[in-house]
Structures are given as C-alpha cells and as structure tokens.
Amino acid sequence: MRLEAESLSHSYSGKQPLEALRRVSLSIPAGQFVALIGPSGCGKSTFLRLAANLLPVRSGSLLLDGQPPRAAVAQQRVAWMAQSPALLPWRTVRANVLLAGQIQNHGSRPRLDAEEALARVGLSDMAGSYPAELSGGMQQRLALARTLTLPASLWLMDEPFAALDELTRERLAGELLGLWQPIGATVLWVTHNIHEAARLADRALVFSQRPGSIVADIPIPLARPRREADPDYQSVVTSIRTGLGMAETGVSS
C-alpha cells in the first residue's frame, strides 16, 4: 500500500492546544519498510494514529493508496500495533490472538493462524496462560503475534521491540523479515534504536523534536541479511545518528 502525506499537521486540543506534527510531507511506495526515529514526544505515535484512523486528519492530507485512512481501515487493509501491549486480561494468550480474527471475521483465511503466530514469537507454550502471567516483553510479543494475524497491506508498528532484550530482538527481527518479504506489505516501524532501523528498514525517516517534522530521509539500499561489520551498514548508522543529532539541536537539513 502506498502512503502519501502532504503538509500533514496535527494539534491536540486541550486546555492548551499542543502541536504534535507540523507540515509533514512524504511519499512511501508500496512494499517499503520505513523506520521512523526521533526524540521522545516528537509525534511518531501521532503519525501512526492518523494513518490508523484513530485521529482525524484536520490539516493537510494523508492518503493510503489514494484513499483517506477511514476507507483503508474499513477495508481491513491496515494493521496497527499500539505502543502499549493492549491485551484483554480476561482472555488467554491464544484467545487474545484469535480476537482480531473474530472481530474482522477472517474465518478460515487469517494471514497467519494463531498457533503459527504464537510459535513465531516464541509463546507457544504460554498459549493457555493469561496476560497477567506474562512478563512485559512477553506481553509485547503477544501483541506482535496478534498483529501478524491481520491480513493487512500496511503495518503500523509503534515500537514493537521496545521491551525486548537484544537477543530476542535479533531473533524476532529475522522472523519478521521472513514474514514480511513474501507479503510485501508497507511497514512504518517506530523505534528509538538506530541499529534496529539500520538492520530492518529500506529507509529511515528522522523526526525533529515536537512539533515533529522530517529532518532527514535516509535510504538504506543494503541487501538482507545485514552485517554490522559491513562499511555500508556503518555509514547508514552514522547518517541516522547525524540525523538524530540534527533533530536534537533543531537544525534542519
């Protein structure tokens, strides 16, 4: 799914209106894996929420395959994974994964069936437990498994690996790329981890501090799997780091 934003801004209304995004323009072709990286509070989650139709687009435009987010969500073409695990405490691990399919009525054609999704994230042996019995990282993996069952062509992933240790992160990154490559879904992947962005994405977008706008757009034209020793990989890491430095100091490229 193609994603196009044209001077997209968003302000939260409250006692004091708060400008979270300012004039974001970008174009993401179908099938691209894009990492969004930027300082905390810069509007990354806000951007994903706009694309998931959880916030209304009031200023500028945001189109998914030429349609407003509402239409794409109604066609079940968008999968959103929240920054918090958002699990139902009264459902078992397995029932939590199955829930998405029950709501969207996937019937016999989920992208990935529940058992398979749980196996991919390494939670098969916990299928009968309840979320309260899981650690923070396990809860996040459960939320990831649930997202992977959705038959969507746009994945909006809000820091899906934030609560994971480095080894689990690497293993899951491999699983995820294996799932993603044949599907060719468009991915927006929010992360604070430069190496995660460099290892996974085709492109990294660096956001400035709030109000967020794009300060650096870094292509990552490297074949997968990527090796940290590769000098090209190192130069990608350096560019992202430089971009983040500009984001911190507020200098725009």
Partner 1 sequence: MNGGRTWLPVALVGGFLAIWESAVHLFRIPLYLLPAPSRVVWTLAQNLTPYSQATLLTMGEALAGLALGVLTGGLLACLLVLRPGAENGVMTLAILVKSTPLVAIAPLLTLWLGFGVLPKVIITALMTFFPVLVNILSGLQRPDPALVDLFQSWNASRWQIFTKLRLPASLPYLFAALKISAPLAWIGAVVAEWTGASGGLGRMMWLAYTNLNLPYMFAAIFILSTLGMGFYRLLAWLESRVVFWQPVTVEEERV
Question: Applying CB under 8 A, which residues contact partner 1?
Answer: 49, 52-54, 73-74, 76, 78-80, 82, 84, 86, 88-90, 99-100, 102-104, 130, 132, 150
Question: By the criterion CB under 6 A, which residues form the site for ligand ATP?
Answer: 12, 14, 18, 20, 40-46, 83, 210
Minimum CB separation from Mg ion for residue 42, in Å? 9
**109 contacts which partner out of Mg ion, partner 1, ligand ATP, none, CB within 5 to 8 A by kind?**
none
CB of 201 vs Mg ion, minimal distance in Å: 17
Q: What number of chain residues touch Mg ion (CB under 5 A)?
A: 2
Please write down the HEC assignment for all residues of the chain: CCEEEEEEEEEECCCCCEEEEEEEEEEECCCCEEEEECCCCCCHHHHHHHHCCCCCCCEEEEEECCECHHHHHHCCCEEEECCCCCCCCCCCHHHHHHHHHHHHCCCCCCCCCHHHHHHHCCCHHHCCCCHHHCCHHHHHHHHHHHHHCCCCCEEEEECCCCCCCHHHHHHHHHHHHHHHHHHCCEEEEECCCHHHHHHHCCEEEEECCCCECEEEEEECCCCCCCCCCCHHHHHHHHHHHHHHHHHHHCCCC
Query: Of these partners, partner 1, ligand ATP, Mg ion, none, which one is at the site of residue 229 (CB under 5 to 8 Å by kind)?
Result: none
| Minimum distance, C-beta of residue 33 to partner 1, in the bound complex (Å) | 20
191 binds Mg ion (CB under 5 A): no
Left if phi > 0, otherwise alpha if psi is -120 to 50, otherwise beta: which for 122? left
Residue closer to ligand ATP by CB (options 42, 117) is 42
CB 107 within 8 A of CB 155: no
| Binds 40: which of partner 1, ligand ATP, Mg ion, none (CB < 5-8 Å by kind) | ligand ATP
Of 74 and 251, the one with the shorter C-beta distance to partner 1 is 74
Residues 56-95 that bind Mg ion (CB under 5 A): 83
Q: Which is nearer to ligand ATP, 45 or 96 (CB)?
A: 45
CB of residue 204 vs ligand ATP: minimum separation in angstroms? 15
Rounded to 10 degrees, the C-alpha dihedral 58/61/64/69 comes to 10
45 binds Mg ion (CB under 5 A): yes
Which among Mg ion, partner 1, ligand ATP, none contacts residue 52 (Cβ within 5 to 8 A by kind)?
partner 1
What are residue 27's DSSP bridge partners? 4
18 binds, among Mg ion, ligand ATP, partner 1, none (CB under 5 to 8 A by kind): ligand ATP
Residues that bind Mg ion (CB under 5 A): 45, 83
